[in-house]
């Protein structure tokens, strides 16, 4: 029996040592014992950091949905696979068994096929957190189509950019979505977006909110009648280990979003293995991750990881504040949730509310708590530990990225003693390195540097869709023979890692990755704007918020500044989505620049963060006088 389930610290160290001594045999053993293959691999791993190219389990044949569904039917057919909790607490929860999921995925897959979707085609999924979202993801995987899920909070332009980047043939959406007390016109957003897309032949529409919507002749079809006619079985497409499974877009510090490509076998093995260990999942547990499937967390730890382990995974359609701030805890009590995985920003927002919202509910079912997406501050960690975990539930602070496919650095419950704000130790097979700016590895403990990974792991993204050069430049060029994460980290005296934040121009706002350049591009489209610079600054609930410095063209100066601020935020909302809106906008006559004309964001970050004691040497700036002016007009 391989060490699929690690149960104490001593065992972790043994497993870890074994995993780095011989990674190939380590992963081979896990792949062999815990998954279903149509053909075994010829080679566990081949890699080349120069190209860069990484292949895991090459030659193997499989279908991930057989691993996530079919193989459970004999022993767990009636067990709940997906437990759907609707936005409105008065609407009944749905318990979708593995048998039912099997049938629903087959029907959806047959509908996709009937619309001409074939292996390798791209399907865009733009749906709220309803069962059809998970079912569509799995249906694509069933027939070998590549899914590209776009978070349903993105705007029509952001959707269009993503659809065009990967030439999606089909879009599945809904007539609208429920979000707390509001409804959102998703179909309207799709219609607007598709004005700019030529590749889409079909739009399938789920009826979720009974809205009156326009259906475009020859393009749009209601899903339900097609499902009713569809066959209830669908033979899985047999895939190669390295066939793409999905594309998921993440923002970069510059340019268009990056379509990270994940492939089949390695992603499956790693997401399943990490799910089992990090959450110490046991057969009768009810696991709940509050993320949206539109993000990597939802892909790996709502859909693939849990289902590959035959787990019950909760899908929640709503928001933590509706009908009141007790909603999360009500759900925990109602479904006797055992593992609860959320983002620090949600914890901080809930911690600000009256404790009564927590104390009303019985949370004794909880065993393990998790956080993801951004650093968790000490105060939020303790609130979570005391009020939700009642000091009895280990907290796993999981560090990873869209690009890594699965959790990389995290405590293992009951094994790794947790320290607030530390993601602690690398999972088996993960070899972190801290690098200095000259490209040397910083060895030893009590050091900090740029976080890299120096050996391949099974679920790493293999390329950026349509732009392998950008993949190489972004992740493999800063440091030779290493994957560069873009994060800074420190390693303490016992070897625990603490992530200190991004070292590039990406800002993590409420756990969402936002590149500053695309936001600046959106602002600069405003006719009154000459130039802009966006930086992050610390925010009590969101972790970071966005601060914009905007230079107006002369003609703009006489305009009402509050109106301009609104217009700028509206533009950002239209181009990217409401999550990228700026909290503060300062109009300024200039921005500090180097002699080569580069904006000195370091200084702007400090000013926005109210940390001006040590601005460093500003004398080499092209316009040192502007620093004082910017400081004098800062928005507190
Ligand atoms: O900066 C790190 C931060 O989120 C980034 C990755 O964002 P994304 O690709 O959207 O994936 C988020 C969900 C996996 C990282 O580069 N981050 C993620 N988890 C943590 C974190 N920062 C600190 N602590 C974490 N646990």
- Do residues 534 and 452 both lie within one domain? no
Query: Ligand 1 pocket test: which of 513, 543, 577, 580 has the largest number of ligand atoms within 8 Å of its C-beta?
Result: 513
Instruction: Give percent of the chain with pLDDT exceeding 70.
Output: 99
Return the CATH number at 320.
Answer: 3.40.50.12780
Answer whether residue 15 is part of any domain.
Answer: yes
Give the pLDDT score at 1: 39
- Do residues 314 and 244 both lie within one domain? yes
Answer whether residue 486 is part of any domain.
Answer: no
Q: CA dist 597 to 304, 506, 518, 620, 624, Å? A: 47, 21, 19, 12, 13
- Do residues 441 and 516 both lie within one domain? no
Ligand 1 contact, 502 CB (< 6 A)? yes
Ligand 1 contact, 508 CB (< 6 A)? yes
Ligand 1 centroid, distance to 435 Cα (angstroms): 19
Answer whether residue 487 is part of any domain.
Answer: no
Query: Ligand 1 pocket test: which of 499, 506, 507 has the largest number of ligand atoms within 8 Å of its C-beta?
Result: 499
Nearest-CA residue for ligand 1 atom 12 is: 373
Answer whether residue 490 is part of any domain.
Answer: no
Residue 388 exposed, middle or buried by CB count within 10 Å (0-12, 13-18, 19+): buried
Ligand 1 centroid, distance to 554 Cα (angstroms): 40
**Average pLDDT of span 398-423:** 96
Domain count, the chain: 2
Answer whether residue 1 is part of any domain.
Answer: no
- Do residues 39 and 84 both lie within one domain? yes
Ligand 1 centroid, distance to 298 Cα (angstroms): 13
Ligand 1 contact, 296 CB (< 6 A)? yes
586 by DSSP, 3-state: which?
strand
- Do residues 450 and 515 both lie within one domain? no
**Average pLDDT of span 164-187:** 98
- Do residues 385 and 513 both lie within one domain? no
Whether residue 255 is predicted with pLDDT greater than 80 in this model: the reply is no
Q: Which of 391, 402, 425 is nearest to 278 (CA)?
A: 425
Ligand 1 contact, 374 CB (< 6 A)? yes
Handedness of CA 150, 546, 370, 325 (dihedral sign): negative
Q: Which of 475, 497, 515 is the last residue of a domain?
A: 475
Cut 0.80: pTM above it: yes
Nearest-CA residue for ligand 1 atom 26 is: 399
Res. 560 pLDDT band, cuts 50 70 90: confident
Whether residue 3 is predicted with pLDDT greater than 70 in this model: the reply is no
Answer whether residue 527 is part of any domain.
Answer: yes
Percentage helix, strand, coil, to 5, in the chain? Answer: 35, 25, 40
Ligand 1 centroid, distance to 447 Cα (angstroms): 21
- Do residues 447 and 546 both lie within one domain? no
Ligand 1 contact, 507 CB (< 6 A)? no
Among 83-87, 273-277, 460-464, 608-612, name the one with the lowest average pLDDT: 608-612
Q: How far apart are the first and last CA of the chain?
A: 59
* Domain enclosing residue 295, as ranges: 9-475
Answer whether residue 482 is part of any domain.
Answer: no
- Do residues 407 and 520 both lie within one domain? no
Give the pLDDT score at 388: 98
d(CA 499, CA 484): 14
Whether residue 124 is predicted with pLDDT greater than 80 in this model: the reply is yes
Token digits for 531? Answer: 């130039």
DSSP state of 613: T
Token digits for 96? Answer: 């979708």
Q: DSSP letter string over 72-119?
A: GHHHHTTSEEEEEE-SSTTSPPEEEEHHHHHHHHHHHHHHHHHTT--T
**Average pLDDT of span 408-432:** 96
Answer whether residue 495 is part of any domain.
Answer: no
The ipTM, to two decimals, is: 0.99
Return the CATH number at 623.
Answer: 3.30.300.30
Ligand 1 centroid, distance to 272 Cα (angstroms): 19
- Do residues 207 and 257 both lie within one domain? yes
Ligand 1 contact, 399 CB (< 6 A)? yes
- Do residues 135 and 81 both lie within one domain? yes
- Do residues 531 and 467 both lie within one domain? no
Q: Which atom of ligand 1 is nearest to the CA of 402?
A: 9
Whether residue 96 is predicted with pLDDT greater than 90 in this model: the reply is yes
Q: Which of 456, 475, 494 is the last residue of a domain?
A: 475
- Do residues 62 and 197 both lie within one domain? yes
Res. 596 pLDDT band, cuts 50 70 90: confident
Ligand 1 centroid, distance to 502 Cα (angstroms): 9
Ligand 1 centroid, distance to 185 Cα (angstroms): 30
């Amino acid at each position: 029996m391989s060490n699929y389930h690690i149960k104490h610290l001593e065992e972790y160290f043994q497993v870890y040592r074994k995993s780095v001594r011989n990674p190939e045999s380590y992963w081979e053993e896990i792949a062999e014992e815990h998954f279903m293959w149509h053909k075994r691999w010829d080679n566990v791993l081949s890699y080349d950091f120069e190209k860069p190219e990484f292949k895991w389990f090459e030659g193997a044949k499989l279908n991930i949905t057989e691993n996530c569904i079919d193989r459970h039917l004999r022993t767990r057919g009636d067990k709940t696979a997906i437990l759907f909790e609707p936005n409105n607490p008065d609407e009944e929860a749905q318990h979708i068994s593995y048998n039912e999921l099997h049938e629903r995925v087959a029907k959806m897959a047959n509908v996709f096929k009937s619309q001409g979707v074939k292996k390798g085609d791209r399907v865009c999924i733009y749906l709220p957190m309803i069962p059809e979202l998970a079912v569509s993801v799995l249906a694509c995987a069933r027939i070998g189509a590549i899914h590209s899920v776009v978070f349903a909070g993105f705007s029509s332009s952001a959707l269009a950019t993503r659809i065009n980047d990967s030439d999606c043939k089909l879009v599945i959406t809904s007539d609208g979505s429920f979000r707390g007390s509001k409804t959102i016109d998703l179909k309207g957003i799709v219609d607007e977006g598709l004005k700019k897309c030529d590749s889409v032949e079909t739009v399938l529409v789920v009826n979720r909110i009974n809205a009156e919507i326009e259906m475009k002749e020859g393009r749009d079809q209601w899903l339900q009648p097609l499902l009713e006619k569809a066959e209830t079985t669908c033979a899985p497409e047999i895939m190669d280990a390295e066939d793409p499974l999905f594309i998921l877009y993440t923002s970069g510090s510059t340019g268009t979003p990056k379509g990270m490509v994940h492939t089949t076998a390695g992603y499956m093995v790693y997401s399943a293995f990490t799910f089992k260990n990090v959450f110490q999942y046991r057969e009768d547990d009810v696991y709940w991750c509050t993320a949206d499937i539109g993000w990597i967390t939802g892909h790996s730890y709502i859909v693939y990881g849990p289902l590959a382990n035959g787990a019950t995974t909760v899908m929640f359609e709503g928001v933590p504040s509706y009908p009141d701030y007790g909603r999360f805890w009500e759900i925990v009590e109602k479904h006797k949730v055992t593992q609860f995985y959320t983002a620090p920003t949600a914890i901080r927002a809930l911690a600000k509310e009256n404790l009564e919202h927590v104390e009303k509910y019985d949370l004794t079912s909880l065993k393990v708590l998790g956080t993801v997406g951004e650093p968790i501050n000490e105060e939020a960690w303790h609130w979570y530990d005391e009020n939700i975990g009642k000091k009895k539930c280990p907290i796993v602070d999981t560090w990873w990225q869209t690009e890594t496919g699965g959790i990389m650095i995290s405590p293992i419950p009951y094994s790794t003693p947790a320290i607030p704000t530390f993601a602690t130790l690398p999972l088996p097979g993960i070899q972190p390195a801290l690098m200095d700016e000259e490209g040397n590895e910083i060895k030893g403990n009590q050091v900090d540097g740029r976080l890299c990974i120096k050996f391949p792991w099974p679920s790493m993204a293999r390329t950026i869709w349509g732009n392998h050069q950008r993949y190489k430049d972004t992740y493999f060029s800063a440091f030779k023979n290493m994957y560069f994460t873009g994060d800074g980290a420190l390693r303490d005296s016992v070897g625990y890692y603490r992530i200190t934040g991004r070292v590039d121009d990406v800002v993590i706002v409420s756990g969402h990755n936002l590149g500053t350049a695309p936001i600046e591009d959106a602002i600069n489209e405003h006719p009154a704007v000459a130039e802009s610079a966006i930086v992050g600054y610390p925010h009590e609930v969101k972790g970071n918020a966005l601060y914009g410095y905007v230079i107006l063209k002369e003609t703009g100066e006489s305009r009402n500044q509050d109106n301009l601020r609104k217009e700028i935020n509206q533009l950002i909302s239209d181009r990217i989505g409401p999550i990228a809106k700026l909290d503060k906008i300062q109009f300024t006559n200039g921005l500090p620049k180097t002699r080569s004309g580069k904006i000195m964001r370091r200084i702007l970050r400090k000013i926005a963060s109210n940390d001006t004691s040590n601005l460093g040497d500003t004398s080499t700036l092209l316009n040192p006088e502007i620093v004082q002016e910017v400081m004098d007009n800062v928005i507190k």
